[in-house]
């Protein structure tokens, strides 16, 4: 493949990402669960980890940017760029109704720039979605049809890096700027034409900082004098709690008027989050990974009050990856194959009924050049239950990311 062609593919890939970022605001609908808290929490580690049950806290490597644990950047040898997007489809039902929704969303972009390979010093600049709100539901009677929509969510803009201060021990950190606007709309259409159809919208802009620190240890075999554990790595990641400042604006509008009814400010807690992970490289060919991550939403306050719909969340996942063979002519053997499973006791709870989710995952890493891959992740799973006035979501997600060593920063003589 010529250099021009590779560049063409990269440009094509990022054009695709950009287009999806634009399209993502067009689609409506989603699960009503995202009405609560700061919306559905996204724990995005990239499409590679997405396909492995989202388990990658302990993964080190040169071929990807570990967006779950900054310590995982320490093996990157060349400037790497990664960007992703996701298409998700929801089939939701409650005790009476059912409906389908779908959406597409940009999943952020990350740059990793190695500074010193011997000490594992790598800088990270990352933009990732943190949560999203996307719902559309309706309450209807003979007087008024009430449509409720929610859009937006939080994003994280992070700057950090990794270092390997001791042999087989890497640490990483990143400073996260959490920000984003969550909009909630109520649209009221009256059967009686003498009533003014109206809309109430509430817009909350959140902003605040948190700090993430992570570590990965590869020396357990030495520590325990157990050579069989040499392929084992352990990882740990922690994100500090923070309090986001929220600027709120409420607007009431009709066909005749547009009225800003209230502006206020408040605080929203984002609690401590921490997780553990392990990975095991079997026969130098197969990765097995496992993660657990916990966040203490059970005591978080929103505008001074703890929402009854929130509880502590815990997520556990396991993953598998068959590493590609590099020195082979077979394209299929150069593809990475991944699978996984995860269970998440989400931070939602209603009427003493917790909302849990289960997903099976899978995916591929398709080479598109010597150091570039398109990673495809698939999720299929369930969330919630139709009992106790809740809803059950059957969710399909297709994520795609482009991960490449970037030659843009290296001067190459033209042919």
Residue list 246-305, contact with another protein (CB under 8 A): 250, 252, 254, 256-257, 259, 261-262
Q: Is 133 an interacting residue with respect to another protein (CB under 8 A)?
A: no
Among the residue ranges 59-67, 89-97, 157-165, 207-215, the one whose residues contact another protein (CB under 8 A): 89-97
- 53 or 384: CB nearest another protein: 384
Site for another protein in 189-218 (CB under 8 A): 190, 192, 194-196, 198, 200, 202
Q: How far is the CB of 323 from another protein (least distance, A)?
A: 18
Site for another protein in 330-349 (CB under 8 A): 331-332
Q: How far is the CB of 199 from another protein (least distance, A)?
A: 10
In our burial notation (b when 16+ CB lie closer than 10 A, e otherwise), range 140-162 reads eeeeeeeebbbbbbbbbbbebbb
Q: How far is the CB of 247 from another protein (least distance, A)?
A: 17
Q: How far is the CB of 329 from another protein (least distance, A)?
A: 9
Helix (H, G, I), strand (E, B) or coil at 55: coil
Q: How many whole angstroms separate alpha carbon 5 and alpha carbon 226? A: 48
Q: Which of 157, 177, 186, 306 binds another protein (CB under 8 A)?
A: 186
Q: In degrees, to the nearest 5, what angle opens at C-alpha 77 toward C-alphas 72 and 80?
A: 75
Q: How many whole angstroms separate alpha carbon 363 and alpha carbon 378? A: 6
Task: Count CB-CB contacts under 10 A for residue 275.
Answer: 25
Strands (E), 117-257: 121-132, 135-140, 144-166, 169-190, 198-217, 232-239, 242-254
Q: How many whole angstroms separate alpha carbon 209 and alpha carbon 230? A: 37
Mark 24-63 with x for binding to another protein (rule: CB under 8 A) and - for no binding.
Answer: --xxxx-xxx-xx---------------------------
Q: Is 147 an interacting residue with respect to another protein (CB under 8 A)?
A: yes
- 11 or 226: CB nearest another protein: 11
Q: How far is the CB of 306 from another protein (least distance, A)?
A: 14
Q: How far is the CB of 146 from another protein (least distance, A)?
A: 6
List Cβ neighbours of 62 (8 Å cut-off, separation of 6 or more): 75, 76, 77, 78
- 121 or 368: CB nearest another protein: 368
Q: How far is the CB of 109 from another protein (least distance, A)?
A: 16
Among the residue ranges 61-69, 145-153, 286-294, 312-320, the one whose residues contact another protein (CB under 8 A): 145-153
Record the tokens describing residue 320, joined without a space: 């598998």
Q: Is 144 an interacting residue with respect to another protein (CB under 8 A)?
A: yes
First to last CA, the chain: 14
- Concatenate the DSSP letters of all residues of 326-360 into one string: SS-S-TGGGSEEEEEEEEEEEEEEETTEEEEEEEE
Q: Which of 12, 191, 224, 360 binds another protein (CB under 8 A)?
A: 12
Helix (H, G, I), strand (E, B) or coil at 35: helix
- 178 or 182: CB nearest another protein: 182
């Amino acid at each position: 493949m010529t250099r021009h062609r590779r560049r063409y593919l990269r440009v094509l890939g990022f054009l695709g990402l950009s287009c999806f970022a634009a399209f993502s605001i067009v689609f409506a609908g989603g699960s009503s669960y995202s009405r609560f808290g700061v919306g559905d929490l996204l724990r995005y580690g990239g499409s590679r980890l997405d396909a492995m049950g989202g388990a990658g806290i302990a993964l080190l490597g040169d071929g990807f940017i570990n967006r779950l644990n900054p310590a995982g950047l320490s093996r990157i040898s060349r400037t790497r760029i990664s960007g992703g997007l996701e298409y998700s489809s929801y089939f939701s039902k409650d005790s009476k109704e059912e409906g389908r929704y779908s959406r597409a969303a940009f999943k952020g972009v990350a740059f990793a720039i190695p500074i010193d390979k011997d000490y594992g010093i790598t800088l990270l600049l990352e933009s990732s979605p943190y949560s999203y709100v996307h719902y559309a539901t309706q309450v209807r009677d003979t007087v008024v049809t009430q449509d409720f929509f929610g859009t937006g969510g939080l994003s994280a803009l992070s700057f950090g890096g990794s270092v390997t201060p001791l042999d087989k021990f890497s640490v990483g950190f990143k400073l996260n700027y959490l920000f984003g606007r969550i909009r909630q709309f109520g649209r009221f259409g009256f059967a009686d034409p003498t009533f003014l159809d109206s809309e109430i919208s509430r817009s909350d802009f959140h902003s605040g900082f948190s700090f993430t620190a992570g570590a990965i240890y590869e020396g357990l075999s030495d520590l325990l004098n157990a050579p069989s554990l040499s392929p084992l790595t352990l990882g740990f990641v922690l994100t500090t709690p923070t309090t986001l400042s929220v600027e709120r604006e409420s607007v009431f509008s009709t066909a005749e008027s547009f009225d800003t009814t209230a502006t206020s400010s408040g605080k929203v807690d984002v609690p401590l989050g921490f997780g553990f992970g392990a990975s095991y490289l079997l026969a130098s060919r197969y990765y097995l990974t496992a993660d657990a991550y916990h966040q203490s939403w059970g005591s978080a306050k929103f505008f001074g009050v703890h929402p009854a719909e929130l509880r502590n969340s815990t997520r556990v996942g396991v993953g598998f990856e068959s590493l590609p063979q590099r020195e082979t002519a077979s394209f299929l053997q150069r593809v990475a194959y991944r699978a996984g499973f995860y269970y998440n006791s989400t931070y939602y709870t209603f009427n003493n009924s917790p909302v849990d989710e289960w997903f099976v995952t899978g995916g591929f890493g398709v080479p598109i050049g010597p150091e570039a891959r398109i990673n495809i992740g698939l999720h299929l799973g369930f969330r919630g239950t139709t009992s106790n006035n809740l809803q059950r979501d059957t969710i399909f997600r297709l994520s795609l990311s482009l991960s490449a060593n970037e030659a843009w920063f290296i001067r190459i003589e033209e042919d």
